[in-house]
Amino acid sequence: MNMDWGTAGQWAGVIAAITIAIWGAMSKRNDKQIEGLGKEIGELKSDRSTLFKRVDGIDRQLARVESEIEHLPTKDEMHDLEMKVVGIDGKMDAMLDKIGTLIGQNARAEERVIEAERRANEAERKTR
């Protein structure tokens, strides 16, 4: 098989054309992929920006909560307060009992005064 340089050149041209066509197709596919990646990167940047804003908001809320918690009483302070309230409650009950006794004594004293006035009035009427 004898091939002349003209035929070999033609075959070389065909092979080069096919190679260039394949390279062009692959290049366009890569361009589309790169374009798609560019869109995805843009969306990710937007999402990242949104996430940073949300994290900043959460940080501010956390700082406010921490500031408020600093002012709250501790477990031991709450227990002490509860014990004081129980003590005050007991003292109030005792005071209410004493007030009830005083009210009863006052009522009896009023009855004695009224009875004494009635007797005085009757004695005065008898003397007239």
pLDDT, tens only, 17-51: 888 777 766 666 666 666 666 777 777 777 777 78
Mean pLDDT to the nearest integer, 95-107:
93
What is the count of structural domains for the chain?
Answer: 2
Check whether residue 60 and residue 93 sit in a common domain: no
State the pTM of this model: 0.40
Check whether residue 63 and residue 123 sit in a common domain: no
Last residue of a domain, one of 34, 56, 72: 72
Last residue of a domain, one of 42, 72, 102: 72
Residue with tokens 């109030």: 92
Check whether residue 3 and residue 39 sit in a common domain: yes
Task: Report CA-CA distances (Å) from 40 to 33, 61, 104, 124.
Answer: 10, 31, 88, 114
Check whether residue 56 and residue 34 sit in a common domain: yes
**Are 81 and 73 in contact, with CB atoms under 8 Å apart?**
yes
Last residue of a domain, one of 29, 49, 72: 72
Q: Give 6's pLDDT tier (boundaries 50, 70, 90).
A: low
Give 56-79 as a DSSP string: HHHHHHHHHHHHHHHHS--HHHHH
Its domain, for residue 88, covers: 73-128
Phi and psi at residue 113, to the nearest 5°: -65, -45
User: Is the pLDDT assigned to residue 1 strictly greater than 60?
Assistant: no
